[in-house]
Structure 1
């Protein structure tokens, strides 16, 4: 029971700290003190230490000798690597998803689009980041390729951190998110639309390009 309780506390700390980072309350480069976080979250240092290790594996936290843990800071090189890798992964995911799409899957994607529209209208900018991830997550699941999905999950939270940085520094995200994702749904409905790769290049590549010019 002690092991289960500790695992539960560690998981709860992971979720709480991840949300703090993705909501922008813990900013890039900010130091993460085990003592301070232990006090804030009301748990011992052991679950906090395990949570920080988990977040380091997700790419949201970096730990350096003699300096401790801090929220990762994404550089221009990071943006470039995320962009090129994600484009390659997304193209394979969408190509496979087009062959496996179902009416139920389209309904789910359209429901996310509707949530995006509401979030834009109600100025829930942080929620847009999560909805963006959820949309692409569904496509990777639809692709039915376990190793591809593993590759996606390895960068997913750093993609979220990028989207947060873009939302803060480049004020165009909420203006284009609904339209661009709706276009992607149209492409998947056409099954073998040769233009879908160009859509992905624009959807992903242009955002990274705009942000990298001001980082």
Structure 2
């Protein structure tokens, strides 16, 4: 990790630490020392402490009495809960997106898929995880339901850890991500499939199934 600029130190620390976790430079279960992070990032301990609190609220870090902070460790049960909850949220989001998506919205989603394809070609696997999140975040935005979006943001960074774990343990992520997301647009937003809920269950549930068998 690199030393941070002096402005917006807490926010910059959040972004740097989050990226380190999502890219696997900080692994699940790793202890996070305020003193060490302060030295590494070149800032005082106050913005580090604020950043750790923020990341704890995002579900990426846990803090325990007398043990301090560490990167969250997600179990198979955690992954199952994330998968089933996400399916429920996405079904509502897509049902509303079907009614609300404009041609510009669909163009924007296809642009993200083009970025995915470029990331596959250049073997930017960590970037694929972020683009996956960006794609689904856009769907929740199109759904235009503030409480639904809040529910999504409460789990989305742990969903990123799920995607990271899947990418590490089951090396098929880069092979299917472009086609799967393109099909979601075509089948649901363009063709208005009557079976869109089944498509969502397959898209999200199959990822959990691959990971649980790894």
- For the aligned pair, the TM-score class normalised by the smaller chain equals over 0.9
Counterparts of 2:54 and 2:6, CA distance in 1: 14
Q: Please tell me whether the aligned partners of residues 38 and 45 of structure 1 are also in contact (alpha carbons under 8 angstroms).
A: yes
Q: 1:136 and 1:116 mapped to 2: Cα distance?
A: 13
Alpha-carbon distance between aligned partners in 2 of 1:59 and 1:212, rounded to the nearest angstrom: 21
Determine if contact 1:58/1:157 at 8 Å carries over to the other structure.
yes
Q: TM-score, normalised by structure 2?
A: 0.95
Corresponding residue number in structure 2 for 1:71: 71
Aligned equivalent of 2:114: 114
User: Equivalent residue for 1:150?
Assistant: 150
Question: Secondary structure at the residue paired with 2:194?
Answer: coil
User: What do the CA deviations read for 1:113-163 (whole angstroms, capped 9, x no partner)?
Assistant: 111111111111011000000000000000000000000000010000111
Contiguous gaps of at least 5 residues in structure 2: none
**Aligned-residue offset at 1:91:** 0.3
Structure 1 residues 27-63: Cα deviation after superposition (integer angstroms, max 9, x where no partner): 0000000000000001111110110000000000001
Asked whether 1:56 is paired with 2:56, we answer yes
1:188 aligned residue: 189
**In the alignment, does 2:89 pair up with 1:89?**
yes
Aligned equivalents of 2:103, 2:198: Cα separation in 1: 24
TM-score, with length taken from structure 1: 0.95
Q: Distance in 1 between matches of 2:74 and 2:212?
A: 10
Residue of structure 2 in register with 1:24 after alignment: 24
Shift of 1:7: 8.5
Structure 1, unaligned runs of 5 or more: none
Partner of 1:140: 140
Aligned residues: 209
Q: Kindly indicate whether the alpha-carbon contact (under 8 Å) linking 1:133 and 1:156 is maintained by their aligned counterparts in 2.
A: yes
Taking the aligned partners of 2:130 and 2:115, their CA distance within structure 1 comes to 11
Displacement after TM superposition at 1:8 (Å): 1.9
The aligned counterpart of 1:33 is 33
Runs of 4+ off more than 2 Å: none
